[in-house]
Amino acid sequence: MAILADKNTRVVVQGITGREATSFTKDMLDYGTKVVAGVTPGKKGQSVHGVPVYDTVHQAVREHQPDSSVISVPPPLVKGAVLEALDNGIKLIVVITERVPRRDTIEFLEVAREQGAQVIGPNTLGFISPEVVRLGMAGGPAVDVKKAYMPGSVGIASRSGGMTTEVANLLTTNGIGQSTCVGVGGDAVVGSNFIDLIKLFEEDSDTQAVVVFSEPGGVVEEKLAEYVVENRIQTPIVAYIAGRFVDDLPGVRFGHAATIVEGDKGSSKSKIAAFREAGIHVADLFSDIPKILKEQIKGV
């Protein structure tokens, strides 16, 4: 069982005629995702890998009834693209674009919350439920995805899109399959964070454990620890925090936009302490993740 999407999910790609979107549209199709339409204003009547292109989301919805959207448009156009998708009833939106103005992100996320829509990103590679569905470009070409990911019972939530695949590959190499693997996005403000995803994984009867790949910066991890305790989350969580050296470089940004530490707030030490106090298992080494999972789940 997958969270967020399944084999019946119907996808519209906004910005489909762009170079990046053209490439990942083919990869999604090759993986079996139902990409039913694309949107690029002024390009109606064209097609991308056999996918018909329309001028507006309204046209695409009228003709093909998509229920999700993957957005890859220039940063200044993202807010308009998201709002257009929401206005046309799309309830699952994946925003690939990075460098989206933070104010724009806050504004469209507020509208999404009001309408009960789920947003992944911005600045995400998307997500994969192995051998079920893929939205976005996580894992690269379909042939590479099939090598790195395999179906199973461990969910992945990662701040890094690239490391989503690295974690999945580590698990696959150790015979541990995945349920759904999500790159939450590297920006300081994103639609679905670790807490949102843990809620979904906890409700998924086929997800037996979750791996969280984290970085310094932000306080969502500390909030996740509080949520786990307050809501008595039963699904085992294994966390790995990369870039711990950033703790010794206060005020320095490293990697993603959200990776910035001010004093102890958002530091690796603070996150690790909060996780352990909440009963979340922390892997000191990246390679320790499979061992800890096998200790927590029978038959994994």
Which tens digit of pLDDT belongs to each residue from 160-219? 999 999 999 999 999 999 999 999 998 889 999 999 999 999 999 999 999 999 988 888
Instruction: Return the CATH number of 10-296, one of 1.20.1440.230, 3.40.50.261, 1.10.150.110, 3.40.50.720.
Output: 3.40.50.261
d(CA 89, CA 200): 21
Kindly report the average pLDDT of the chain as a whole number: 93
What residues does 93 pair with on adjacent strands?
69, 119
pLDDT at 249: 56
Q: What is the mean pLDDT of residues 99-106?
A: 97
Q: What are phi and psi of 108, to 5 degrees?
A: -75, -25
Indicate whether 254 pLDDT > 70. no
pLDDT at 1: 62
pLDDT at 18: 98
User: Does the active-site annotation cover 64?
Assistant: no
- What percent of the chain clears pLDDT 70, i.e. is strictly above it? 92
The neighbour count for residue 174, using CB atoms within 10 Å, is 14
pLDDT at 297: 84
d(CA 205, CA 104): 36
Confidence band of 34 (pLDDT split at 50, 70, 90): very high
Indicate whether 82 pLDDT > 90. yes
The three-class DSSP label of residue 133 is strand
Give the range among 103-112, 261-270, 276-285 with minimum mean pLDDT.
261-270
More confident residue, 132 or 252: 132
pLDDT at 77: 98
The three-class DSSP label of residue 243 is coil
Q: What is the mean pLDDT of residues 114-127?
A: 98
Q: Choose, from 58, 64, 256, 281, the residue flagged as catalytic.
A: 256
Joined together, the tokens standing for residue 44 give 């109606």
Confidence band of 135 (pLDDT split at 50, 70, 90): very high
CB within 8 A of 16, min separation 6: which ones?
Answer: 22, 25, 38, 39, 40, 48, 51, 53, 72
Indicate whether 63 pLDDT > 80. yes
More confident residue, 2 or 273: 273
CB within 8 A of 22, min separation 6: which ones?
Answer: 16, 48, 49
Q: What is the mean pLDDT of residues 268-281?
A: 94
- Of the candidates 179, 182, 183, 174, which has an alpha carbon nearest to the alpha carbon of residue 151? 179
Q: What is the mean pLDDT of residues 264-282?
A: 89
Q: What is the mean pLDDT of residues 53-78?
A: 98
The three-class DSSP label of residue 6 is coil
Residue that is written with structure tokens 């809620």 in the block:
199
